[in-house]
Amino acid sequence: MLERKVLDKYYPPDFDPSKIPKLKLPKDWQYVVRLTAPFNMRCKTCGEYVYRGKKFSARKETVQNESYLGLPIFRFYIKCTRCLAEIAFKTDPENTDYTMEHGATRNFQAEKLLEEEEKRVQKEREDEELNNPMKVLESRTKDSKLEMEVLESLQEPKGLSQRRAHVDFEAMLRQHRLSEEERQRQEQEEDERETAALVEESRKRRLLEDSDSEEDTTPTQPQPALQPNPTAILDETPKAKRKAESWERSVGALGSRPQLSGLVVKKTGLDSIIRRGRAPPLPGAMKNGQAMPSMSSLSQLGVYSDSEDSSGSN
C-alpha cells in the first residue's frame, strides 16, 4: 500500500524506455472527465433545468477537422439528471465560450446578448468608415472631443495632487494635535464645573433635609412652672415704700399748699378704717337722732386743714 505513494520508482540498470510498446488509440477516442455545466440549460426531452455549476462525469473527445488558430476544439457529452438523455456541447475559443449542439437549449443570458450587440455595432461602424470618408472624419472629431474631455477630467485630480504637494503635513498634524488638546482641556473643565455644581447642589439638598428632619424630631420643651420665691416677701416693703414716694411726688406736684399732702394722708387713714370694717359717717347722717346738715367738699377740706393746723401748733 505504501509503494504506490512514493515519488521515485526503481528503474533497473538495463531499463530501456524505447522497448516499451506505444498504445495506439484512434483519433476520436473518448475520455471520461469530471466537469461542471458551463451555462444554464433545459433538457429538450423532459424539460428539466440544468443549472450552471452542476457537476457531471462527461465524455470528452476532440472534434475532427475543426480548430481555431491552431487550437483544438473539444466536445463533451453529459446526461440529463432526470431522463438520462444525452446532451452535447463544445468549446468556442473564438468567443471564449461554449456552444450548445443538441439535447438541450441554452437559457437566456442578457450579458451575452449585450456583448453580441456591441460587437455588431462596432463591425457596422468599421464597414461604414471604409466606404464613407466623411464618416471617418466625423468619427475622428468625436474621438478627439472625447479624448479632450477625458484629459480635462484627469487634469482636476492632477491639480489637486499638485496643491497637495505644497501642503505642510507636519504643520497640519501639529495644528490638529493642538486643537485636539484644547478641545480635551475644555471638555475636562466643563466636566469639572458640572461635577462641582452637582456636589454643591447635593450638599444644599442634604442640609435642607437635615434641618427639616431636626425640626420634625425635636419635641417642644414644656415651660417650667413658676416656683414661689421665699425671699419675695422681703422685697415687698421697699416696693411699697417706692410706691408711696412716687405717689407723694405726684400729689405734691398738684399744688404748692402743704394742706393737700395732709389731705392725702387723712384719706389714706380713711382707707385704712374702711379696710377694718368701720365706715366713716356720711355727710348729712343723723347724730343722736337728728339729721346733721350736709357739708360740701370745700367745707370738709377746710375742716381737715384746720385740724392739721391745730395739731401742728400743739
Residues belonging to the binding site for Zn(2+) are: 43, 46, 80, 83
Q: How many angstroms separate the CA atoms of 42 and 40, rounded?
A: 7
> Residue 39: CB partners within 8 Å, gap ≥ 6?
52, 98, 106, 107, 109
Q: Which three cell numbers stand for residue 219?
A: 419635641
C-alpha count within 13 angstroms, C-beta hemisphere, residue 232: 5
Residue 223 has phi, psi (to 5 degrees) of: -70, 130
Q: How far apart are CA 177 and CA 82, in angstroms?
A: 71
Q: List the grid coordinates of 92.
A: 468556442
The x, y and z cell numbers of residue 61, run together, are: 473527445
